[in-house]
Structure formats: structure tokens, C-alpha cells
Amino acid sequence: MPTPLRCPVCRQPLLRRDHGAACANRHSFDRARQGYLNLLPSHKKRSASPGDSIEMVQARTRFLDTDLYNAPATALIEAIHASVSDKNQPVIVDAGCGEGYYTTRIADALPKASVTGFDISKPAVVQCCRRKTDNADLQWLVASVADIPLPDDSTDVLVSVFSRIDWNEFARLLKPGGQVMVLGPGPDHLLELRQTIYEDVRSYPEDKLLETLPDGFELTSKTTVTDTLNVPDCQTIMDLLAMTPHFWHIKPAQRDKLEALQQLHCRLDMRLYVITYQPAASR
Ligand SMILES: C[S@@+](CC[C@H](N)C(=O)[O-])C[C@H]1O[C@@H](n2cnc3c(N)ncnc32)[C@H](O)[C@@H]1O
Ligand SMILES: [Zn+2]
């Protein structure tokens, strides 16, 4: 069974109907023809098209489908396996799932799991629906991490890959003992890409995330995930750029430098944090 939903308007349970879902207060949500539910009420949108644009989504899909990011996907799946090995039908939520590469890999690796992927970007979620999986309990939602349309105490594992974190919402969703898996950049992530663009390149600060962990959340493990990426052509290099914040800051001359490259050897340096939630009453 897919994970039950919560109405984004009145917070009552949402019941599935043929063409979508509705709550007892008659708030109803149609299923899009691609298969997702849009549970982001328009009055809660900060802009007409929040989140990643269609161009960024397409670049991300082209890049991730090369499987150059196989190492972090594999590390994430191993950590989830370890976390839910004693559960019959674990509930896994990918918050800010983008175009669904990691979510679908998780759903395929854990066929008995109920997996939900959500993102605030509609083009990203449309792309998610194009991904094939045999896991019948994978559902896709347009929703915000600041107001997740899933019930309290419902989730075993919350995944956040290079995405926003809302610790209050994560605390509300997680069962006691549930875990957050955060994948983010290590100090030297994409160093050679950054060296091509900028003259002065600094390492990213390490473990910043851990400075902001609220009460109830505790680090269980930290894994370094490294690899050497052989980015094979100009299109893939530009797609990789479009997945980073540098895409927004880069000057035309710096972009030209990158566009002149025919290939790039670049290090992947990520950190996978497994963080366990234990609410005060159960500690
Ligand atoms: C850097 S991308 C990562 C996507 C995906 N996890 C991956 O690694 O391929 C960040 C994603 O967060 C989404 N996003 C931004 N603000 C959000 C919010 N408030 N709630 C949910 N998703 C959000 C963007 O649309 C984008 O898809
Ligand atoms: Zn409602």
C-alpha cells in the first residue's frame, strides 16, 4: 500500500479516489495524467513555478542517467537497507526528490517498501513519473518540505539529497528511532570543475549540517563517498554545472572556459550522514 496522505489544507487524512484524493472536509485533488498528485495549495506557493525549472530538470536527468553518481546512490541504498532490515514494509520518503533518480533506485532496491518522492517543482515531478519501476507502492507528489502532506509518526527513513531540510517537519513525520539520511557535498566535491571556473577555489566547510542539529536528532554515522568522475563530453559537463549553485553565479567568460572542454576528470566527494530521531518522551 502507498503511504497514507494528509490533506494540505485541513490536515485531515486524504482518502484515495479513482481520479485523485479527497478529505472529509471535501478538499479534493485530481491526479495528473502523468500519475502524480499536486498537494501544494496555490496560496502556499511563493512563485508561479517554484523549484527547479524544466531546463534544470532535463540537465539533471541527462547527467544522472549516465550513472556517474552510482557511488552515492549505492551508499545511500546500503544505509537504507541497514536501517530498515527488521521492517516488513518500511516507509521511505525522499524529500526534494528532484527528477526521481535516487527515489526510483531506492524503490527498486527495496521492492517491499512504500516509497514517496516529493518535490516543489512540477517539471521535476512530471519527470519522476516517466521513470520506470516495478515497485507498485512508489508515489510521486508535488509538495513542499515546509509542509509535507504525510501523517505524523509515519516514516522510517527520510532521505534528503542536496535538498532543503525542515527539521520540524522531519520530527513530525519520523517514527521514534526513524532515521534521516542526508547526502551532501564534502570539502573537495567537484574540485576540478570549480578550478576550471574560478581562480581562487576554497574547500567547502565540512560538517556544517551537524552544527544545526536540533534536539532529538543525533548523528549515528558519517560516511565519506568518493569517486573519480570521467565526464565524457561537453554536454555532460554543462549538465553537471546545471546541477550546482555555480550555474547561477558563473560569468560568461567562465562558462566559455567550461564549454571549451571536451572532457573533465573531476573528483566526487560527498558525505552521507545517518541521523537518528528520538523524541524527548521516548529517550
Ligand atoms: C539540488 S536539487 C536535488 C534534487 C534531487 N534530490 C537530486 O539530488 O537529484 C534540489 C531540489 O529541491 C527542490 N526544492 C526546492 N525547494 C523546495 C521545497 N521547499 N520543498 C521541496 N522541494 C524543494 C528543487 O525543486 C530541486 O528539485
Ligand atoms: Zn482537507
Q: Which domains does the chain have, with CATH numbers?
A: 36-282 (3.40.50.150)
Whole-number pLDDT of residue 283: 66
146 lines ligand 1 (CB under 6 A): yes
Q: 50 alpha carbon to ligand 1 midpoint, in Å?
A: 10
Whole-number pLDDT of residue 43: 76
C-alpha cell at 19: 481520479
Q: 166 alpha carbon to ligand 1 midpoint, in Å?
A: 12
Nearest ligand, CA 10: 2
Ligand 1 atom 20: residue of nearest CA:
144
Q: 220 alpha carbon to ligand 1 midpoint, in Å?
A: 24
124 lines ligand 1 (CB under 6 A): yes
Ligand 1 atom 7: residue of nearest CA:
98
How many CA atoms within 13 Å lie on the side-chain side of 282?
12
- What global pTM score does this model have? 0.97
> In ligand 1, which atom is closest to the CA atom of 144?
20
Q: What is the pLDDT along the chain (283 residues), one digit of tens a residue?
A: 888 999 999 999 999 988 999 999 999 999 999 999 999 987 777 787 889 999 999 999 999 999 999 999 999 999 999 999 999 999 999 999 999 999 999 999 999 999 999 999 999 999 999 999 999 999 999 999 999 999 999 999 999 999 999 999 999 999 999 999 999 999 999 999 999 999 889 888 899 999 989 999 999 999 999 999 999 999 999 999 999 989 988 999 999 999 999 999 999 999 999 999 999 876 6
Q: Which of 116, 161, 149 is nearest to 6 (CA)?
A: 149
Buried b (16+ CB within 10 A) or exposed e, 26-53: ebebeebeeebbbbbbeeeeeeeeebbe
Task: Give the separation between CA 24 and CA 13, rounded to whole angstroms.
Answer: 8
98 lines ligand 1 (CB under 6 A): yes
What phi and psi values does residue 237 have, to the nearest 5 degrees?
A: -65, -45
Ligand 1 atom 13: residue of nearest CA:
96
